[in-house]
Chains A and B, each alone.
Chain A
């Protein structure tokens, strides 16, 4: 349970090969989300299946696959249609953001970002995630 809002914590998978970045994400989000991390694209794709997160945070520069590719692969899997993908990168050029959206990202965040704002954004996105309980009613 989230200590501040009292709801069940949603699951977030962070795919980023930079240890410092992972530390920042974990610290920013762990109070309100259940976090798992992966440092490679392939490992991330496997974890998407095993961990079935509601939100994936995806870095663009990964050692094996490029983030855009990972995004496209997740989008091609029909069972994962409801997953929200937030791409994060220091690549801040408009064309690169557009590339991210074209690959199926729901949002694109440029580094550096303010931790509080990022948390707020993630909470907003998590409210958009369809809840199984809501579907039944």
Chain B
């Protein structure tokens, strides 16, 4: 197990020495500071965070109680690192105020080294349990998210599956009764259901590749404009169904050639444009803007529609996340895997993806570096 680390702030060097000796007997390292301000500055930039903090009350610049208030951000909630106050004045009201400000415990001067060590060790144990509980909670939340995801995927699979089985039965009836045009129509529905199913399976396969870190890319010199045009061609029928126009805006054609995995970037653009069509208002325009700025080329997909809730803008790129915004989601199907997959593909190209909403327009934009990656 790693050696625990204590941050100690006291303006008296003798006191620091006593604390250091007491704690080193228990195998605890210390970093010492002359006042609260120094300790806070160090804490913010420290790579190795302390497991415990010990503060003297009377110090120049910043006293113990004030330091505690800064640490807990004046919230009055207990600071996540156990903090002890040492005070020469055996003043219980001060100790109470310190603990109300987010501190964990206090000790009276003169400090008995053995007593100090015991107190510190107890608090370290307490912190360990608290940390374990926190980890368990995070794990449980992740599991809940995962099971909600699988319930949703099962729903997504059942819907096209239902179309396939029902129309297979209808096609059979049609053929028996000799109604060939009706049979052909049923077969078309079967094919369309199968395609939907295929897309879900592909997304799930991509997810498992991402999870195991085995998504492979082929970087070649390609034209991003062609990418966008291909997607527009492919999705124009879907867009027309909703009265939506897909409009490309290309800045210039010189910088549109760069190294990328053609199939994967088509997948990203297709995903963003499909989402834009799904979430935009009827009879509006979805713009796909390609532009280059300095070292990056970016593609922005813009649609008019209900903005994405602020607190969800980051989350939508996370695996297994699905918006809680039921009004927006209820009628829109999807596994919720599209955006996480997009993010994975874009970052494999050394780029980034984000979303912004303003004035009723949602902008999904990804950028990839223009220079050769390898």
**A interface residues with partner B (beta carbon < 8 Å):** 17-18, 20-21, 23-24, 27-28, 61-64, 66, 89-93, 110-116
Q: Say what secondary structure dominates the interface of chain B.
A: helix
Cross-chain contact B169 with A114 (CB below 8 angstroms): yes
Q: Given A20-B189, A93-B151, A115-B166, are A66 and B326 also a contact pair (CB < 8 Å)?
A: yes
For residue B327, which residues in chain A have a CB less than 8 angstroms away from its CB? 64
Q: Given A24-B167, A27-B170, A115-B166, are A62 and B161 also a contact pair (CB < 8 Å)?
A: no
Task: Give 9 new A-B contacts, CB below 8 A, not counting A21-B162, A111-B161, A112-B165.
Answer: A20-B193, A62-B330, A66-B330, A90-B162, A92-B158, A111-B159, A112-B158, A112-B161, A114-B165
**Chain B contact residue count (CB 8 A cutoff):** 22
Q: Given A23-B189, A24-B167, A114-B165, are A18 and B154 also a contact pair (CB < 8 Å)?
A: no
For residue A27, which residues in chain B have a CB less than 8 angstroms away from its CB? 170
- Residue B265 is within 8 A (CB to CB) of chain A in the complex: no
For residue A116, which residues in chain B have a CB less than 8 angstroms away from its CB? 169
Cross-chain contact A111 with B169 (CB below 8 angstroms): no
Tell me which of A66, A89, A91, A112 contacts B166 (CB under 8 A).
A112
Cross-chain contact B165 with A20 (CB below 8 angstroms): no
Cross-chain contact A17 with B169 (CB below 8 angstroms): no
- Residue B331 is within 8 A (CB to CB) of chain A in the complex: yes
- Residue B221 is within 8 A (CB to CB) of chain A in the complex: no
Tell me which of B166, B189, B193 contacts A28 (CB under 8 A).
B166
For residue B170, which residues in chain A have a CB less than 8 angstroms away from its CB? 27, 115
For residue A18, which residues in chain B have a CB less than 8 angstroms away from its CB? 159
Can you identify 26 A-B contacts, CB atoms within 8 angstroms? A20-B163, A20-B192, A21-B162, A23-B189, A24-B166, A24-B167, A61-B330, A62-B330, A62-B331, A63-B331, A64-B327, A64-B330, A90-B154, A90-B156, A90-B162, A91-B155, A92-B158, A110-B158, A111-B158, A112-B158, A112-B162, A112-B164, A112-B165, A112-B166, A113-B162, A115-B169
**B interface residues with partner A (beta carbon < 8 Å):** 151, 154-156, 158-159, 161-167, 169-170, 189, 192-193, 326-327, 330-331
Assembled-state Cα–Cα distance A48/B372 (Å): 63
User: Closest residue to B159 on the A side, CB-wise?
Assistant: A90
User: Closest residue to A95 on the B side, CB-wise?
Assistant: B151
Assembled-state Cα–Cα distance A61/B151 (Å): 14
Tell me how far the C-beta of A36 lies from the nearest C-beta in chain B, rounded to whole angstroms.
Answer: 20
For residue B189, which residues in chain A have a CB less than 8 angstroms away from its CB? 20, 23
